[in-house]
Amino acid sequence: MATLLDQLMQKLEEKKSRIIEIRRYFHENPELSFEETETASYIADFYRDKDVTIRTNVGEGHGITVDIEGGKEGPSLAIRADFDALPIQEETDLPFASKNPGVMHACGHDGHTAYMMILAESLIELKDQLPGKVRILHQPAEEVPPGGAKGMIEAGCLDGMDHVIGIHVMSLMETGTVHYHVGASQTGCATFKVKLQGTGGHGSAPHAANDTIVAAAQFVTAVQTIVSRRINPFNTATVTIGSFDGKGSANVIKDSVTLEGDVRIMDEESRAIVEEEFKKILAGVCSAFGIDYELDYKNDYPVLMNDEALTHMVVTAINEANIPEVDEVVDSGPETASEDFAYYAQERPSCFFYVGAHKEGTPYYPHHHPKFMIDEDALMISAKTMAAAVVYYLEKGVLDK
């Protein structure tokens, strides 16, 4: 008799074309973070006639949870997929390119949702054999802080759950590879907006003005010393000034300049140091130039921490499943991007791993690029690797560290 995993893999294989069809629908109809009304309706309708418990509008956005109750006693596992798009004008020329001007699935969340829906459907069809409970987390608004995860957690999406697992497809990793890392796996982040306010004037009389462009330039240079002189060289941190708004006339001294940027860190100690030093330098520069400032500094997503035991279990499950499409499972090391999956990992032992989605012989385009695309073979790999992890978890549990 075929094992539970064999049956699940067979069902997924039979539904490969449907995964691609659903993914292309979402890709063609993207919606921005916290605005995913039609996307959420499509997902909820998919489950309406199925033997599951559905919650909609979970959290402050359009979150959806789907509970699959197994026919046998066992542990409880949450698996998550996000579904928001980005404010980017698509330039791929795909036949199913975005129909919404200025909005694009440029990060792979369309693929996450498609594979998760078909995996969930297949688990539902085998639910009597499941030893435990699986909760599907369809999450909105990963791209925009405070993100959709935080609100869903506050609304109880993890109540009764023991662990959480998630996947991200990666356009810069080769199709057929699966990547993971234990411990600090993605950066935490913060964003800031600073308005420097001085006294404007005429270029012929600079002594009568307080030049905010000069002050802002001094600040931009000085703030880079935080990483080079205040952060332990063995720790990861960046401070980026992404916007310097000081446009004016050639002979006019601007009375105000606005700067915006972000911070990335890989440990919370560095987060505190960067914020403290940032504020000290800002106050010092403004005092030296005799100008005022307004600061909006927001700490956003935490560092994403992968649980050692659960991650070891996921890797073991994928390797033992002998999935034909998977060529290798490797430790990728930490990733420098940030992810609001980190909030789940703060609440429950979690694992977030990566599935390569770059087709050999095609150009590389990073996430959030207008020509971003994924190899659709990665969708089945995502479904099968997550299936392997789910079945192993329910049948054997988390391995010892």
User: Residues with catalytic annotation?
Assistant: 84, 142
CA distance 272 to 277: 9
The C-alpha atoms of residue 276 and residue 52 are separated, in whole angstroms, by 49
Please give the DSSP secondary-structure letter assigned to residue 302: P
Between β-strands 237-245 and 292-299, what pairing exists: parallel, antiparallel or unpaired?
A: unpaired
Phi-psi map region of 50: left, alpha, beta (phi>0 left; psi -120 to 50 alpha)? beta
Q: Alpha carbon of 9 to those of 19, 79, 321: distances in Å?
A: 14, 17, 10
d(CA 376, CA 365): 15
Report d(CA 100, CA 379) in Å as an integer.
23
Task: Return the ∠ at Cα 207 (arms to 291 and 201), rounded to 5°.
Answer: 70
CB 337 within 8 A of CB 265: no
Query: Strand pairing partners for 330?
Result: 179
Amino acid of residue 264? R
- Residue 296: exposed, middle, or buried by beta-carbon count in 10 A (0-12, 13-18, 19+)? exposed
Give, as one character, the DSSP assignment of residue 366: -
Beta carbons within 10 angstroms of residue 204's beta carbon = 8
Distance CA 222, CA 315 (A): 44
Report CA 287 to chain centroid distance, whole Å.
Answer: 39
Bridge pairing between strands 201-202 and 188-197: unpaired
Q: In whole angstroms, what is the distance from residue 106 CA to residue 309 CA? A: 32
Cβ within 8 Å of residue 21, ≥6 positions away: none
Question: Smallest Cα–Cα separation from 292: which of 210, 193, 203?
Answer: 210
